[in-house]
Structure 1
Amino acid sequence: MINKGKLKIRKHGVEYDKNAIELLGYAFLFYAGSYSSKIILTGIDLASIASLGSLFFYIIWIYQLIKVMLNNTFVIKKIIFFELLYIGILVINRELFPYTKPYYIEYFMFLRQIVIIFLPCGIILSQVKDFQNAFLYLKKYAWIGSLIMLIALPLGFIDYWGDQYWGVQLSPFVIIIFGNYIKSYKKEDLILLIIDLILILSGGRQSFLIVFVSCFALYLFDNRKKTKKMLILISIISVAVLMFFMEFYTVLFQGMNHLFQTFGIEVDLLEQLANNKLFDTSTRNIIYQYAIDSIRETGTKISGLFADRYYIRQFARWIAYPHNLFLELWMDFGTVLGTIIGLILVQKVLKHVFIGGEERRRLCIVLSILVFFRLMVSNSFMIEGYFYILLGILFGYNKKKSKLHKKYSLMKRKKIGRQVSI
């Protein structure tokens, strides 16, 4: 720590930021590798030690985490504090709302991953002052993760884990490669991008659409300074392409699906699009209606974490959770507190999309789309690991501190310059 009057400035900079961003890469790699390794080991007749694959990625993660902590000891206290806070909230919630106890056992694996992987990653990222070159630092992890999943796909990843896990784990890699490609236009990035897009088409379902939206948003952000004529031209072309698809999309998707099948590739998304089943929301409408009926009964009552499972399964045991972030917040925290929490999240996302360095904004855009688009139609914030990483970035940034560090860095450079001249 460096004291300057009443202000305290932590002495960490570019090296810490780089290490923290690379730790995010390890988090993405852990998620993909721990699931894929089990399939790979089983596929090569090593099913008896398949669980060691996941253990291997846990060990790699813990090693990298400890290395970052030892090199930046100031962050250790923060990690301990927030880990104890998170675990304490879970324990208190379980005691105050005993009907939620069964869900701690049901979702233990996800809670363990949050405690060991995603929460520490979010805390460390919360201290990053500059995300410069973030996509470049993450590129090698996207390559490794993509190759691991490429090996796991023909060995039965989707059959074992399901297409949802496939899409969620592959999505960050596709977006990272795209983010690098539109900056450098390297051929190897384009080749991997095409391969990744084919892979996510093989079973990504809605994940492919989320990836498309993320990449399109990233492209618009990087080209936001283009002339109005160029934007008008892009808009006209986009409308023309959309109208063409609306007229012929069934034939196109059926043809593409048949083409992939001739090469032995089952493309779940194309099959749904060809048969008009992708946007069949009949099941979710039932879930949403049950959730709304439950919210009407509980109103402003705070029912606790995991309470949404308890309430919604009173209607049907087959429903896992509400499949919508706001419905989940209202069922757990009541309509008043749930709305406040939701609005705070929206405000934080908008703030970081429009304020801050360019790379921070790029990362916030894609992570926000990845996390919140998914939480609006699937999964739960209680078990979504990337949600806790995003929280660290959203709540860790402090504009005043950022300016202070810039001022300190400038003073330090001037001081070094004077010493050199002397």
Structure 2
Amino acid sequence: MLDAASLRRDFPILSTTVNGRPLVYLDNAATTQKPLAVLDASRRYYEETNSNIHRGAHFLARLATEGFEAARHTVATHLHAESPDEVIFTSGCTDGINLTAISLTRSGLIGPGDKVLISTLEHHSNIVPWQMLCEQTGASLLIIPCHEDGSLDQDAYAKLLEQQPKLVAFNWISNAFGTVNPVVDMTAKAKAAGALVLIDAAQAAPHLKMDVQAIGSDFLAFSGHKVYAPTGTGVLWGKRSVLEAIPPYRGGGEMIKEVTFEKTTYNDLPFKFEAGTPNIEGGITLAAALDYVNSVGLDAIREHETKLIQSAATGLSEIDGIRFYGPDDRAGALSFAIKGVHHYDLGTLLDQMGVAVRTGHHCCQPLMARFGITGTTRASFALYNTEEDVAALVSAVKKAAVMLG
């Protein structure tokens, strides 16, 4: 059983006070706080091994290179990838999706009249790059609708697959509603229809085990800062056969084997997609974060967070006019609205009481439009949250609802 009270000692920022009250941090879907293991890894890198990598022959260059490539192995093991060569370091999930979209645009694999299929639940980062691809290739965008409970309409999905889209992209967990999509089943159906599949795993990374071989997709992207690593870090995993078939999306150093003024020969994987000096410290600290999460145990984390979400939903359900968004088996986040209360006003009052939540459309404007709202209040949970945090949330929302009602 996870001991969140003990784990909190690993996160110095959680001792912060807000207006004389202890910070209750429930904005983890936006970004998680960083444990000492990650902070120490960052400091150790800059104090002991800081150097550019791969091309240097000196002592520090070798140490930095070894650390960075060891981090790639850590990520590959975490994802159960066939090879570390399938792991591309990025600046985050958004960067990974854009990398894929731009490379596919240039590949010629998608053209006029082709279809790209995404879902109503998507973050803007998994909408806009595909709109741009469609604009540039002449393809068209199809949308999987969702039910009133925030789950995807699987019957409609099966029907849309009959149009044989060239690409299907969907999130594993909705950042707005906490909906957990059946990624293995959806991927299998998309592959049977002949599509490439990309999974946005930004919200899944801190809550669920990720086995890319079991999932069967062609791409999977996630951000480090959602899983206790620094901002500006992330990973795009791709099947070797697919990555080898598409061109790089950026040019420069490291992604080449040979350059002449007449022709450039691209490097092998994964370096083909890693032009320029990477975020070396970021890769190393991302690996430290994954090691930390695995030391706690993702199954234990999911069980702990699920109990907190259920407890919060039970407590908040006592408020008149409250509506929850997303199915009952949601993960990571609890999204809600109170009739007659604007989400921004609610969030502002909660902040004054030391409770940090997220308000607004959560970069999911099409999803909000589907439900006829401008936004929600979202409390999102992490391994260091406690029942005391839940009690503080419920108490603060009840007080704010009375003040704003």
Which structure's CA Rg is the greater one? Answer: 1
Asked whether the two chains share a fold, i.e. TM above 0.5, the reply is no
Sort the TM-score into its range (normalised by shorter chain): under 0.3
Pick the structure with more helix per residue: 1
Pick the structure with more strand per residue: 2
Which structure exhibits the higher relative contact order, with contacts defined as CA atoms closer than 8 Å and separated by 6 or more residues? Answer: 2
When normalised by structure 2's length, the TM-score is 0.25
